[in-house]
A and B are shown apart, each in its own frame.
Chain A
Amino acid sequence: MSYFGDIYKGIKTLLAGMSVTGKVFLNNKNNTITQQYPDNRETLKMFDRFRGEVVMPHDENNEHSCTGCQKCEIACPNGSIEIIWDRQVDPETGKKKKMIDQHIYHLGMCTMCGLCIEACPTDAILWAQNYENSVYDRSALTKVLNQPGSKIMPGVED
């Protein structure tokens, strides 16, 4: 009879649900996801997927992998990225080529959509996991991502 079958199924599924939450309850001490910020400011580490701000990693020789292709600038829906570039003579080959002067990133206008990072063909820009971005003056939110004196890593353009 489906009437009693329904009751049986009902009780079974309710108990299944309760066992799931019950297990979570018992294991809660080890898995608590609450972060007691700012008490744990020193030890708090953001997870990989967190989008803090766009950064350009440099290696130990102060080299980055941005070719100045401007794809990120075009991809950005908010115009948060501005690339100032010029043509310079490459010291190795003696040919003129496009190089970035400044990769300007306006954190204040960024919506953390990630399109610039997806667009970059050389993975020159990445997400950082920092989160304390408040400043007293918004001009501090305009950042130059490439460090002064940095140049492109050899071999990136090949």
Chain B
Amino acid sequence: MNITLSITTTIYKFLSEYMSEGAANIGAMVTIALIYLAIFAVAGLYLVLLERKVAAWFQLRIGPNRVGPWGLLQTMADALKLVSKELTGTVKADKFLYNLAPYFVIISSLMALAVFPFTQEFQAFDINIGIFFLIAISSIGVIGILLGGWASNNKFALIGAMRSGVQTISYELSVGLSLVTMVLLTGTLQLSEIIEVQKNGWLIIQGHFPAIIAFMIYMIAGTAETNRAPFDMVEAESELGAGFHTEYSGMKFAYFFLAEFINMFIIAAIAATIFFGGWLSPFGITESIPWLGIFWFLGKTFVLVFLMMWFRWTFPRLRVDQLLTLEWKYLLPLNLLNIVLMALIVWLGLTIQL
């Protein structure tokens, strides 16, 4: 068996036997996009199921267990229901923006998936500004949320959207700076090379003390970025109904919902790639079997996803002022200090190389 895992080139080569170079290029891109879409639509649904199960276990409940064995088809059934539902809208909504918003949110979160190295060479799009691209793309989603809140012409939705704007703009800084801290160690923004660097020990070990601080700040800020509890003021049910997506129904609502879970996956996947060595196995135990990297990557990601779910079902929601205090008075100054510390450590060569 000789399957190369670099899917882009494989498909490109396959297609270029039949058509011209340009067409093959576009064909390869479209094929990969469709494959990713299909996989992550289903993966997103299963993340929702996982969330519900984990929530149930935290609350001493059983969770969905009626549709399919152990409730495995529950979210599929929910998605079917949402597809078949009527798309309602408000009369005074700005129709164009109102319809555009869900696509902004879902497309920006799906785009970010393109650059992840799931295992050696299994990466759709290996650009040299990988992390930069991720940070940039993941903050575009908030435009969709703002548009949705604004265009629904509903006060609650608008308040929710504005809170989301405040939150994302503030916490974007912390996410960026904590990743920059790690980039000081790697010296590159390209995700595949960042993993290459970690062959001498995962970055959280290489960077030891400042890396752990950066990881904690990243996880806090990342949770805030995805608008999840305890930072879910955007859709604080008790205050705002459903927040920015109050006026959405059916599949448009499902896009917002799915985007939230894919974003959670993305935040966890970035953390797994940058801090925990992505597809690298611990101590290189499965180095000879490259495709096992997928399991390591997904395993690490899901541990971190679980961590975020753990946050969600433990901590109460913050107030807006507490949220901003946490970011501007604590996370940001600590982050800046941490960068200096990391720079010193890299400069003096105090990193731990296994």
Chain A positions within 8 Å of B, measured between CB atoms, are 6-7, 10-11, 14, 17-18, 20-22, 24-25, 28, 31-34, 36
Quick check: A21 and B58 within 8 Å, CB to CB? yes
CB <8 Å contact, B62 and A21: no
Q: A7-B330, A7-B334, A17-B315 are in contact. Are A34 and B61 (CB under 8 A)?
A: yes
In the assembly, what is the distance between CA of A25 and CA of B314, in Å? 11
Flag if A21 contacts B334 (CB, 8 Å): no
The smallest beta-carbon distance between A132 and chain B, in angstroms, is 21
Q: Is the CB of B58 within 8 A of A24?
A: yes
Interface pair A28/B57, CB less than 8 Å apart? yes
Q: Taking the complex as formed, is B310 at the interface, i.e. its CB lies under 8 A from any CB of chain A? A: yes
Contact check: which of A6, A11, A17, A34 meets B314 at CB < 8 Å?
A: A17
Q: What are 26 A-B contacts defined by CB distance under 8 Å?
A: A6-B330, A7-B334, A11-B216, A14-B315, A17-B314, A18-B310, A18-B311, A18-B314, A20-B314, A21-B58, A21-B310, A21-B313, A21-B314, A22-B310, A24-B58, A24-B60, A25-B57, A25-B58, A28-B58, A28-B60, A32-B60, A32-B61, A33-B60, A33-B61, A34-B56, A34-B61
Residues of B close to A28: CB separation below 8 A:
57-58, 60
Measured CA separation A22–B315 after assembly (Å): 12
What is the CB-to-nearest-CB distance from A24 to chain B, in angstroms, rounded to a whole number?
A: 6
**Cα distance, A103 to B216, chains bound together (Å):** 67
Count contacts between A and B, CB distance < 8 Å: 37
Chain B interface mostly helix, strand, loop or mixed? helix
Residues of chain B contacted by A14 (CB below 8 angstroms): 315
The complex places the Cα of A24 from the Cα of B58 at a distance, in Å, of 6
Q: How far is the CB of B334 from chain A (nearest CB, A)?
A: 7
Could you say which interface size class chain B belongs to?
A: 10 to 19
Contact flags B50-73 to A (C-beta < 8 A → 1, else 0): 000010111011100000000000
In the assembled complex, how far is the CB of residue B47 from the closest CB belonging to chain A, in whole angstroms? 18
With A and B bound together, what is the CA distance between A56 and B30 in angstroms? 75
Q: Among B54, B62, B310, point to the contact of A34 (Cβ < 8 A).
A: B62
The 0/1 profile, CB within 8 Å of A marked 1, for residues 314-334 of chain B is 110000000000000010001
Q: A17 vs B310: C-alpha distance in the bound complex, in angstroms?
A: 10
Given contacts A7-B334, A17-B315, 10 further A-B contacts (CB under 8 A): A11-B216, A18-B310, A21-B58, A21-B314, A22-B310, A24-B60, A32-B61, A32-B62, A34-B60, A36-B62
**Interchain CA distance A28-B310 in the complex, whole Å:** 14
Q: Within the assembled complex, what's the spacing in Å between the Cα atoms of A32 and B53?
A: 13
Task: State the CA gap A144–B132 with chains docked (Å).
Answer: 77
Residue of B nearest to A36 (CB): B62
**Closest-CB distance, A28 to chain B (whole angstroms):** 5
The residue on A at minimum CB distance from B310 is A18
Which of chain A's residues have a CB closer than 8 A to the CB of B311?
18
Closest to B216 in A: A11
Bound CA span A22–B310, Å: 8
Measured between C-beta atoms, what is the minimum distance from A87 to chain B in Å?
A: 56
CB distance from B21 to the nearest CB of A (A): 54
> Which residues of the other chain, B, contact A32 by a CB distance below 8 angstroms?
60-62
- A47 to B99 CA separation, bound complex (whole angstroms): 51
Closest 6 CB pairs of A and B: A21-B314, A28-B57, A34-B62, A34-B61, A33-B60, A17-B314
A10 to B58 Cα, complex, angstroms: 22
| Chain A residues positioned under 8 Å from B314 (CB to CB) | 17-18, 20-21
Collect the chain B residues with CB atoms within 8 Å of residue A21's CB.
58, 310, 313-314
CA distance A6 to B311 in the complex (A): 20
Instruction: Give the one of B56, B60, B334 with max A CB within 10 A.
Output: B60
CA–CA, A20 and B58, complex, Å: 10
A31 to B54, CA, bound (A): 15
Q: Smallest Cβ distance from A20 to chain B, in angstroms?
A: 8
Residues of A within 8 A of B310 (CB): 18, 21-22, 25
What's the Cα separation between A7 and B337 when bound, in Å?
14
Query: Most chain-B CB neighbours within 10 Å: which of A17, A24, A25, A34?
Result: A25
A46 to B315, CA, bound (A): 32
CB within 8 Å for A31 and B60 given contacts A21-B310, A21-B314, A22-B310: yes
Q: How far is the CB of B249 from chain A (nearest CB, A)?
A: 29
Give Cα distance in the complex from A104 to B216, angstroms.
66
Return chain A residues, CB-CB under 8 Å to B330: 6-7, 10
